[in-house]
Amino acid sequence: MKWFSKLARIELVLIYLVIIAGSVVRMTGSGMGCPDWPKCFGYLIPPTERSQLEWHPDTEFKKGQIIIVDESLRVASSDFTTANSYSETNWQLYTKHDYAIFNPFHTWTEYINRLFGALSGIPMFLLFVLSLFYLKKDWKLFILSFFGFFMLAFEAWLGKLVVDGNLIPGSITIHMMGALLIVAILCLILIRSSPSIISKKTSLISFKWILAFSLFLTLVQIVIGTQIREQVDGFNHNGIERAEWVAGLDWKFYFHRSFSIAIVLMNVWIWNFNRKHSMGFKYFNWILIIIAIEILLGVLLNYFEMPKFAQPSHLLLGTFLFGLQFYALAKLFSSEALRKNTQII
For the chain, which residues make up each domain, given as ranges? 1-33+103-194, 50-93, 204-345
The 8-class DSSP code of residue 165 comes to T
C-alpha span between 89 and 145 (Å, rounded): 48
C-alpha span between 307 and 266 (Å, rounded): 28
Q: Which residues pair with 74 in a beta bridge?
A: 67, 93
CB 214 within 8 Å of CB 266: yes
Query: What is the CATH topology of the domain spanning 50-93?
Result: Seminal Fluid Protein  PDC-109 (Domain B) (2.10.10)
- Which parts of the chain register pLDDT below 50? 203, 344-345
| pTM listed for this prediction | 0.86
Length of the chain: 345
Query: 38: cis peptide before it, omega within 30°?
Result: yes
C-alpha span between 125 and 87 (Å, rounded): 45
Strand 66-69 to strand 80-81: parallel, antiparallel, or no bridges (unpaired)?
unpaired
C-alpha span between 209 and 213 (Å, rounded): 6
Measured in degrees and rounded to the nearest 5, phi and psi for residue 335 equal: -65, -40
C-alpha span between 23 and 69 (Å, rounded): 31
C-alpha span between 175 and 168 (Å, rounded): 11
C-alpha span between 180 and 222 (Å, rounded): 10
What is the reported pLDDT for 160?
76
73 CB neighbour count, 10 Å cutoff: 25
What b/e readout covers 285-311, taking b as 16+ CB neighbours within 10 angstroms? eebeebbeebeebbebbeeeebeeebb
Query: What is the CATH topology of the domain spanning 204-345?
Result: Four Helix Bundle (Hemerythrin (Met), subunit A) (1.20.120)
Beta strands in the chain (DSSP E): 60-61, 66-69, 72-76, 80-81, 91-93
HSE-CB for 112 with a 13 A CA cutoff: 14
CB 57 within 8 Å of CB 84: yes
C-alpha span between 307 and 267 (Å, rounded): 27
What is the reported pLDDT for 137?
86
